[in-house]
Structure 1
Amino acid sequence: MTAPERRGAPAAAKTHALQGLRVLDLTRLLPGATCTMLLGDLGADVLKIEQPGVGDYNRSFEPIARQESGSFLLLNRNKRSMTLNLKSPAGRDVFLRLVREADVVVEGFRPGVMDRLGLDYDTLREANPALVVCAISGFGQTGPLREASGHDLNYMALAGALQLFGTPETGPIVPGLSIADVGGGSLMAVYGILAALLARQRTGEGQYIDVSMFDGLVTWLAYHGADTLFAGVEPRGGERAFIGSAPCYNVYRCGDGRHLSLGIIEAHFWERLCDLVEQPAWKANQWPQGAAAAVQFRELSALFATQPLAHWVERLLAADIPAAPVNGIAEAFDHPQSRARDLLYACEHPVEGRIPQLGFPVKFSGTPAEHRMPPPLLGQHTHDVLSSLGYGAEAIATLERDGAV
């Protein structure tokens, strides 16, 4: 599988949606990197500020391409990189110079770290009253867990979301996606930043945005939370209609060992399936409960096991019944729909050569996202940035000698 070259932006497009926005990225790992990459794709000038000699921890995560981590390469395009030691007084001074010219600072430290660095919000606001500061953390800046350590799985568990995965037999299972990191962190941060920038247009003032991955997850629970809040029912994986108990909304193993997702909700689709497989008796009971649901699941399982996946996909899609194969990631990337939507493309990297990239998820008619630069090498733009701040060659050499950059 090869990634196609990036298609050019429409000829009429002259600007990017966030062109001219200056973002200082102090984050490491997935939540912040995804947030700032999305901003960069829309035209923001994202300066990734990394620890000298170490950089973003994600640079060392497997798999490694030639020198860089594959996940780092997929999360850091359209960014520049400079190294800066924020614990150094000289490094702190450099950062405050950058803040005076910036629009947004995004940080992902534990609550209290920026205060200890002497870079608390009051200090940053004094340097630039129009600055928007977005802090992404696990549990937020307040509350009894504000300084607690955690990762995606822990936030999922505490927010009541993890129990929605799995079955009564398995209990909760580890989801295959970083739902808290991206859904509760990255996307909420992008939303918050853009809202704060819109408010700044009216007030001229920046503000502080406290993004908690835990909080973000809780807002995802509106559908299943209704079971608890209005019916007094605790939803768990395999026990409620849309989390594994409904035969009409489930996953089935086909005759070749591949799996099929059946996503029927509306009655007319259910009746269409019953007609297709010549089971009119099923029509009267689309949503069986308890033992009846187990019987219907076994009957559907036996049916789908009679033929390979391709057979069922062809028949069900031809009948306009909501169904899809359970694809592997390579299949998903290579799918005609993915290619039609430019969800995979390739770019050139100065060390790694030709590398794949995942496309921007939102399409704009007038200000489309664009690939402008590959993921940066560690500190690749440090000298350029310092020069733009007025540091001469001798001053830059002093900063390097003192370990400030």
Structure 2
Amino acid sequence: MALADLGANVLRIARPTKGGASKFNPVLDRGRCGQIALDMKSEDGRDQLMKLLDQADVLIEGYRPGVMERLGLGPSECLARNPRLIYGRITGWGREGPLAHTAGHDINYIALSGALHACGNAESGPFPPLNLVGDFGGGGLLLTLGIACALFESRISGRGQVVDAAMVDGASMLMSMIYGLRANGRWPAQRAGNILDGSAYFYTCYPCADGKWVAVGAIEADFRLALFEGLGIASDTKILMQVRDDDPQVRARIAAIFASQPREHWQRVFESTDACVTPVLSIDEAADHPHNIAMGSVRRIQGANHPAPAPRFSRTPATTPDEQQTRELISQWQLEDAALLPLG
């Protein structure tokens, strides 16, 4: 999706199925020109793929280690066909090591990286941050960055190469700041009691009277003062600044104040202040928030809400192709002998 957002002509090679097309996600699949079904176990299917590689800048595959090699479609064969090809590979565990060939999911990869242990509090235990850290941040986006850099280098050298992204590596890389805090003694080994994990009374979420929540991120002293003022406890600032970050009495006091009013009340109180207090919005609420509307952060495309492409470019802004542009993109692949399948 990210590569398509940034202008790539993306064609999916789908596995032949009785239904004729693979599962469709209206957001993740946006911008792709289409998909074709090729049987990689057949000589004809492999030949078709090789012909496509003559036109391609990048091939991305996400199988377990060794699968593409067994099909005769590994890096050596594909780069021999197109020496400028960027061969993108993504796995969970990487291509080496005792776990390389075992099954896993995001939660397993971030568990081995140390990221999962750092999430959650003393009561919850380790709590998975959806599948954002392994699958997407440490996986897909890391591979996208690698591909972009390899394409840039290829314009200089005239040669392609393999870009290998492992989610366990990416999750570890995303933990670099926490590793650094641990190295200089500012991040205890145990879970909870750390400034960013929800243990601190000034960096956590509180429920309101209507059952909705607010997020508080008042780390710096000035921001904390604004928090105290909004809560009506600024007179106790000197005392509050001297207690431990995870002081249970202070946390309980602030929780009781937030619980006394609905979320909308606190949104009005803290709006346009530096208290770093924001409503915790659902996906549907986020699309309707005035700031997100002003920024165009969520767009309505073919009946579905989409997070807008990011980052933003001043001269070549990302756009989702319309039907005419999609037809032009697919025509560039010259698919005379292959059946084009619908994405939807």
Q: Give the alignment's TM-score, normalised by structure 1.
A: 0.76
Among 239, 257, 276, the alignment partner of 1:322 is 276
AA aligned opposite 1:46 = V
Q: Which residues of structure 2 form unaligned runs of 5+?
A: 324-329, 340-344
RMSD, aligned α-carbons: 2.6
Which residue number in structure 2 is paired with residue 19 of structure 1? none
Which residue number in structure 1 is paired with residue 327 of structure 2? none
Which residue number in structure 2 is paired with residue 142 of structure 1? 96
Q: Does 1:73 align with 2:22?
A: no
What do residues 151-201 of structure 1 show as CA deviations (whole Å, max 9, x unaligned)? 111111111111222221221123234321010011101100000011011
AA aligned opposite 1:281 = D
Which residue number in structure 2 is paired with residue 53 of structure 1? 17
Which residue number in structure 2 is paired with residue 371 of structure 1? 320
Aligned equivalents of 1:56, 1:336: Cα separation in 2: 42
Among 243, 255, 258, the alignment partner of 1:301 is 255
Q: Does 1:286 align with 2:241?
A: yes
Among 28, 45, 48, the alignment partner of 1:94 is 48
Which residue number in structure 2 is paired with residue 64 of structure 1? none
The count of corresponding residues between Structure 1 and Structure 2 is 332
Aligned equivalents of 1:233, 1:45: Cα separation in 2: 44
SS in 2 for 1:101: coil
> How far does residue 84 in structure 1 lie from its aligned partner after superposition?
0.5
> Could you tell me whether the CA contact under 8 Å between 2:83 and 2:160 is conserved in 1?
yes
AA aligned opposite 1:264 = A
Aligned equivalents of 1:105, 1:141: Cα separation in 2: 17
Q: Does 1:82 align with 2:31?
A: no
SS in 1 for 2:281: coil
> How far does residue 54 in structure 1 lie from its aligned partner after superposition?
5.7
- Aligned-residue sequence identity (percent) comes to 34
Which residue number in structure 1 is paired with residue 326 of structure 2? none
AA aligned opposite 2:308 = G
CA spacing shift, 1:284–1:38, aligned 2, 3 Å = same
Q: Which residues of structure 1 form unaligned runs of 5+?
A: 1-36, 60-68, 349-353, 375-380, 398-405
Which residue number in structure 1 is paired with residue 105 of structure 2? 151
> How far does residue 143 in structure 1 lie from its aligned partner after superposition?
2.4
Matches within 5 A, 1:253-272: 253-272=207-226
> Could you tell me whether the CA contact under 8 Å between 2:188 and 2:194 is conserved in 1?
no
Higher RCO (C-alpha 8 Å, min separation 6):
1
CA spacing shift, 1:286–1:219, aligned 2, 3 Å = farther
What do residues 248-282 of structure 1 show as CA deviations (whole Å, max 9, x unaligned)? 11111122221111110111111233344134323
> Could you tell me whether the CA contact under 8 Å between 2:201 and 2:251 is conserved in 1?
yes
> Could you tell me whether the CA contact under 8 Å between 1:106 and 1:133 is conserved in 2?
yes
Matches within 5 A, 1:6-405: 37-53=1-17, 59=23, 69=24, 72-79=25-32, 80-231=34-185, 233-276=187-230, 277-286=232-241, 288-289=243-244, 293-348=247-302, 354-373=303-322, 385-387=334-336, 391=337
Q: Give the alignment's TM-score, normalised by structure 2.
A: 0.88
SS in 1 for 2:60: strand
CA spacing shift, 1:54–1:164, aligned 2, 3 Å = farther
